[in-house]
Structures are given as structure tokens and as C-alpha cells.
Amino acid sequence: MASLRDLKARISSTSNTKQITKAMEMVSASKLNKAEDNAKAFVPYMEKIQEVVASIASGNIDVDHPMLISRPVKKTGYIVITSDRGLAGPYNTNVLRKLYQTIEERHQSKDEYVIIPIGKVGRDFCKKRELPIAHEITGLPDQPNFAEIKDIANYAVNMFSSEEVDELNLFYNHFISAISQEVTETKVLPLNDIDVGEKQSSMYEYEPNQEQILETLLPQYAESLVYGALLDGKASEHASRMTAMRNATDNAEDIIDELTLSYNRARQAAITQEISEIVSGAAALE
């Protein structure tokens, strides 16, 4: 049985841990609010650019852009979005497990795919398993802007345009709510399944012409898919970390309660033993 001093030390250290996890939970909650606002603010831009691209691509003109055309898939590119730090619950584990399972199911050789990890955890995961990495980026801020990921997004799009890969897919955690995130796979390229919806191409007038506008918009649209997923993933990361820290705080409280109960019992037993020894000593003197 642990001594009173040991129990008191464990209660103190667990209380300190509880204070840290509680503070981390509050920080993550604050970051989540900002990240969720950023993700929501980006949605109208995504919807509008998708609407314009779909309007042109579904028009009466003959669209012959490489990004809209499927070709035999000899090599696939995977972009995977993770965090730079742990202590985020299942956030990283779920998306990396999904990526690895997908690779195992679809590919027989490492020559058939390449990975572009965004985040230190994903990069380290790929390096540890010696998975082929084409490019990587780490150290992104909690509230990233487009300029900070434009290079890697542009690199991924150029890999498809130059036919280094024939398909480009994206793995990330889709934010549903503060307590729910879903691992999602999205096809970035080719853009052959853009939802037209109820919008009609006649709503727009194009200058100089539709082909040139499509030439400019398609790379931007593909890059915006990556950026939108990153914003979505950041919101999921903060939500997952907030939940993980809340659970850690609750667990610390449970441990403190158990240790306090053990401490009180041990202290009571020690006091009882001391009283018994005093009574026995007094009786011996009589």
C-alpha cells in the first residue's frame, strides 16, 4: 500500500496535470471558434467558383482541358492532411489508418502511388513506413491563409498536369461538429464530376472567352479544394484536441477522487493505529 506521502505527491501531480489539460481545452476551444469561422467563410467562394467552372464545362462548347479528362491510372497521388502535434485524440490516427488501408487495397507496388503529406505527423508516418513522398509541408499556423499552402497545392496540380500522376486524391477529417469529425476522401483531379446543380451557363457572359477563363479557373479550383480541406481539417483538429483534453481533465478528476479517498482511508488508519498505541501504552503503565 502506498504511503501517505506517496499518495499526497500523486494527488498533487495529477492536479497539476488537470490544470494543464483544462488550459489546453480552453485554448483549443478558442482556436476552434476561429477555425470554424474560417471554414464557413470559405464556403461561398468554393460554391461560386464551382458554379462558374461547372457552367462552362457543361456548356455547349467543346471543352478539351486536360484537368477535365480522365486517363488510365498508372500512378496516383495522395494528399493527406494531419497535424504537427499530437494530443488530438483520434484525429491523426483515423485519417492515417484510412490512407494506409486504401494504399494496401489499391496498390501492389510503391511505384504506383506517391504521397504529399501536410503536417508533421503525416510526414513522420510515411517516413517510418518508407512510403514514397513527393513533397511535404509542416509548421502551418492554426489559422492558415492560402499563400502558405499555395506552393504545395500548385505543386500537386502540376504533377497531374505534367502527367506525373494520373489521379490526385485528398484525405482529411471533415468537420461535422465539435464532437464529430469524419475521415473523407475527395478526388481533386481529374475534375470530371463537377456538380452543375440548377445553375445555367446562360447566366454568365465571358470575356475574353470561355476557354481562356477555364484555363485560369481550373487550377485555382483544384488548389481551392486543397485549401478548403485544410481549413476543414484545422477545425476538426481543434475540435478533436478540445474533446481529448476534456476527457483527460475528466479522467484526472476521477483519479484525484480515487487517490483522495485512498489518502483519507490511509490517514484514518494511521490515526486509528496511533490512538491504539497510545491507549495500549497508557494501559501498560497502570
Domains and CATH numbers, the chain: 25-243 (3.40.1380.10)
Nearest CA among 171, 118, 115 for reference residue 141: 118
Does the predicted TM-score (pTM) go above 0.95?
no
What pLDDT does 7 receive?
A: 86
Residue 200's pLDDT band (boundaries 50, 70, 90)?
very low
In angstroms, what CA-CA distances link 220 with 80, 163, 173? 19, 18, 22
Cis before 208? omega within 30: yes
**pLDDT tens figures, 263-282:** 888 888 878 877 777 777 76
> How many CB atoms are located within 10 Å of the residue 8 CB?
16
**pLDDT tens figures, 153-166:** 889 989 998 889 99
For residue 184, the cross-strand partners are 172
In sign, the C-alpha dihedral spanning 223, 235, 240, 19 is positive
* Helix or strand holding residue 282 (H, E): helix 210-285
Q: What is the DSSP secondary structure assignment for residue 138, as one 8-state letter?
A: -
